[in-house]
Amino acid sequence: MKKNNLLSLILMLMVVCSVMMSGCTSSSTDAASTGNVSNAEGTQHNESTLVLGEMWAIDSIDPAEDGTVLCEKAACLETLVGANEDFSLKPAIATSWQQLDNKTWQFNLRNDVHFHDGSKMTAADVKFSLERVMNISPRVNSMLKIESIEVVDDHTVKITTTELNPILAGVLHYPNTAIIGSRSVDEQGKLVKPIGTGPYAFESFNEQTGELTVVKNKNWWGGEVGLDRMVLKGIPDPNTRAMAIESGEVDFTVDVPYSETDRIDALDGINVEKYMTPRVYRIEVNLAHQPLDDVRVRQAISYAIDRDEIVEHVLYNVGQPAAGPFLPTMVWANKNLTPYKQNLEKAGELLKEAGWVDTNGDGIRDKDGKDLEFKFMTYAERPGLPPMAETIAAELKEAGIKVTAEVMDFGAIEDNTESGNWDLYLAAYNIAMVPDPEYVLNNWYYTDGPDNGPGYSNPEVDALIDEARTITDLDARYQKFNEVEAIVYEEQPMIIVAYYGCAIVKDDSLKGYVFDPTAHDYRINAGMYMEN
């Protein structure tokens, strides 16, 4: 009996210890969760997990399709080339590059970079990654203009282009060109698991929930990494992102409704930081619809918009009034351009000159029995767009232009643009995925450019772009592109309203965050850490 009692006591103690041990070693995926974890030496530390509320649904982890999430927001992958705050280029995992002749470039690679699986990154991996994205992405392929890639040695790669391509190094800053190991794909070339070189390593992706989890890369060539784990959740609705940060569901998010930023910043435990990011709010104008093909009507629309009012009372100073398509801080921007100031008298003169007057006193200008009215579409994922569209519609009415603003999903917008059933379209566009003015000016304003939604065509602009893209001297190159900026500033085929501001909302326990003004929306930096 004594032996049985003793055995029972031992068993009870073992159960209690097991439960206690289980409580000590479990970790939660809740926001700001910590748990005691033993390292290789047997000592314990607190594991820190950051839960991030991403502004878009995460539906792909293939960098060749969309590298922004894994390269910038999850910090798993890295590109050959980086960018300084003024968008001039700097080394990343390539230490340097030289243009050997009109069509030949040499890139020298770091020799201390390892992939997350422990293998060393070599020129062969660079060749594999670039050839893969060229096969998958027609847009990237058209920008790279690569004819062949030669592995000179483990840390040197030689690239030959089909023609003179001064922006090749800039294109290699584009997130879709991030370098992955060849073991990332199966025998058919399909991505299985993105194996990169960044401060965080891919752990899992839930295709049903769109939840992406990454973990610390303890052997990152760039140094110490602050967080043990990050969980990225796609939350497309700005109001839902605001509720998630307030409830503690996430520790970090971006672009909550701008009208809420000051209130949220005043809450205990949360702070809001506002930054400029390389993106603009622009109104595309359907030049196939009369009277939008009349430059006087487009200029009148631009003069009717009060950009200062919009920035202060719609964007709540999360942004700045815009002139041309480039931020003034960009090294190549035309500094002589200033934002159109609201001038209803000037707008009225231009419309009258174009034949549009209010003949019946109803406040709306008309011509040949037809009112001057437009359909105006936008989308809701970026919080500044819907209220900006409403405000612009009201301002245009003051000038005698009737505008019906409508917030639509992307499917409906795409249907309208493809069918031509649209007049004005307000959207937010990135202006530095490739740090060179050619990326925007060619794509937006060149006849048949890939982002030339309005259908703008100006032979003088085409000729200037053709000439500028062949110039390798940066000062001369930028000067020629400045001429393009000046022309489209006058002709307003796309009405630039404001430079985009980014509202970063984070828990006070998150320390060490540094905003990167060259990122697509925002970039996670390795020095971030959670303070208990």
Which tokens hold the place of 413? 């917008």
Please say which residue of 127, 150, 184 terminates a domain.
184
What is residue 244's predicted lDDT score, i.e. its pLDDT?
Answer: 98
Which position has the token pair 């409508």? 406
User: Which amino acid, 113?
Assistant: V
Place 465 in a pLDDT band, splitting at 50, 70 and 90: very high
4/233: higher pLDDT: 233
CA-CA-CA-CA dihedral for 181, 184, 190, 192, to nearest 10: -170
Confidence (pLDDT) at 46: 63
Phi, psi of 95 (to 5 degrees): -80, -30
For residue 451 the two structure tokens come to 């982002």
Query: In this structure, is residue 378 part of a structural domain?
Result: yes
Q: What angle do CA 398, 399, 402 make, to 5 degrees?
A: 80
| Domains in the chain, number | 3
My answer on whether 205 and 111 are in the same domain is no
CB atoms within 10 A of CB 282: 22
Is residue 8 situated within a structural domain?
no
Is residue 2 included in any domain, yes or no? no
pLDDT(159) > 60: yes
Whether residues 216 and 241 share a domain: the answer is yes
Q: Which amino acid is at 448?
A: D
Dmax of the chain from CA atoms? 110
Answer yes or no: do 58 and 142 share one domain: no
Whether 484 and 421 share a structural domain: yes
Determine the pLDDT at residue 208: 93
Query: 63 with 74: CB under 8 angstroms?
Result: no
110 φψ region: left (φ > 0), alpha (ψ -120 to 50), beta (else): beta
pLDDT over threshold 70, residue 231: yes
Query: Per-residue pLDDT tens for 170-223?
Result: 999 999 999 999 999 998 889 999 999 999 999 999 999 999 999 999 999 999
Burial of 168 per CB tally in 10 Å (0-12, 13-18, 19+): buried
Tokens 């060490």, residue?
A: 512
Q: Is residue 345 part of a domain?
A: yes
Arithmetic mean of pLDDT, 48-71: 95
Helix (H) or strand (E) holding 476: helix 474-491
CA triplet 16, 19, 24: central angle to 5 degrees? 125
The answer on pLDDT for 134 being more than 50 is yes
Please say if the pLDDT value at position 477 is more than 90: yes
Joined tokens for residue 87: 């968008």
Domain range for 531 = 28-36+45-76+198-251+509-532
Q: Decide if 228 is inside a domain.
A: yes
What is the rounded CA–CA span in Å between residue 456 and residue 493? Answer: 6
* Residues 208 and 170 placed together within one structural domain of the fold: no
| Pair 347, 373 in one domain | yes
Question: End of a domain among 184, 213, 230?
Answer: 184
Count CB-CB contacts under 10 A for residue 348: 20
Model pLDDT, residue 532: 76
CA-CA-CA-CA dihedral for 37, 40, 44, 48, to nearest 10? -50
Cα-based distances in Å from 345 to 111, 228, 402: 63, 59, 17
pLDDT value of position 41? 37
| CA torsion, ordered 418, 420, 423, 428, to nearest 10 deg | 10
* pLDDT (average), residues 323-348: 96
| CA atoms of 499 and 339, how far apart (whole Å) | 11
263 inside domain: no
Cα–Cα distance for residue pair 196/210, rounded to 1 Å? 20
Is the residue at 16 inside a domain? no
Question: Residue 9: its pLDDT value, please?
Answer: 42
- Per-residue pLDDT band for 111 (boundaries 50, 70, 90) equals very high
d(CA 450, CA 139): 8
| pLDDT value of residue 48 | 94
Q: Are residues 225 and 311 in the same domain?
A: no
CA dist., res. 265 & res. 257, Å (int): 12
| pLDDT of 2 above 50 | no
My answer on whether 66 and 86 are in the same domain is no
Q: What is the 8-class DSSP label of residue 370?
A: E
Kindly write down the DSSP assignment for every residue of 281-298, as one continuous string: EEEEE-TTSTTTTSHHHH
Give the span between the Cα atoms of 289 and 12, in whole angstroms.
Answer: 82
Residues 173 and 286 in one domain: no
Structure tokens, 54: 């991403």
CB 113 within 8 A of CB 147: no
Distances in whole angstroms, Cα of residue 385 to Cα of each of 255, 301, 451, 502, 519? 11, 17, 19, 13, 20
For residue 5, how many other CB atoms are within 10 A of its CB?
9
Same structural domain, 322 and 284: yes
Whole-number pLDDT of residue 188:
87
266 assigned to some structural domain: no
User: Which structure tokens are listed for 157?
Assistant: 């790669």
Res 337 pLDDT > 60: yes
Question: What's 432's domain CATH number?
Answer: 3.10.105.10
pLDDT at 11 over 60: no
User: For residue range 339-358, what is the model confidence (pLDDT) as tens digits?
Assistant: 999 999 999 999 999 999 99
Sign of the C-alpha dihedral computed for residues 448, 451, 454 and 456 taken in this order: negative
Cβ count within 10 A of residue 249:
17
Whether residues 83 and 231 share a domain: the answer is: no
Three-state SS annotation for 61-91: CCCCCCCHHHHHHCCCCECCEEECCCCCEEE
Please state, in angstroms and rounded to a whole number, the distance separating the CA atoms of residues 364 and 373. Answer: 8
Decide if pLDDT at 19 tops 90. no
Cα-trace Rg, the chain: 27
Question: Can you tell me the mean pLDDT for 113-141?
Answer: 97
Is 158:152 a contact under the CB 8 Å cutoff?
Answer: yes
Domain CATH code at residue 524:
3.40.190.10
* Owner of token pair 């232009």: 401
Same domain (yes/no): 517, 487: no
Half-sphere exposure of 36 (CA within 13 A, CB side): 9
> CB-hemisphere CA count at 13 Å for 530?
22
Record the tokens describing residue 503, joined without a space: 């509202």
378 burial level (CB within 10 Å; 0-12, 13-18, 19+): buried
Mean pLDDT of 41-65: 82
- 13's CB contacts (< 8 A; 6+ apart) are none
Query: What percentage of residues in the chain have a pLDDT greater than 70?
Result: 91
Question: What is each CA distance from 467 to 100, 416, 462, 463, 478, in whole angstroms?
Answer: 21, 35, 9, 6, 11
Q: What is the mean pLDDT of the chain?
A: 91
Written in H, E and C, the secondary structure of 344-362 is HHHHHHHHHHCCCECCCCC
Q: Are 500 and 282 in contact (CB under 8 A)?
A: no
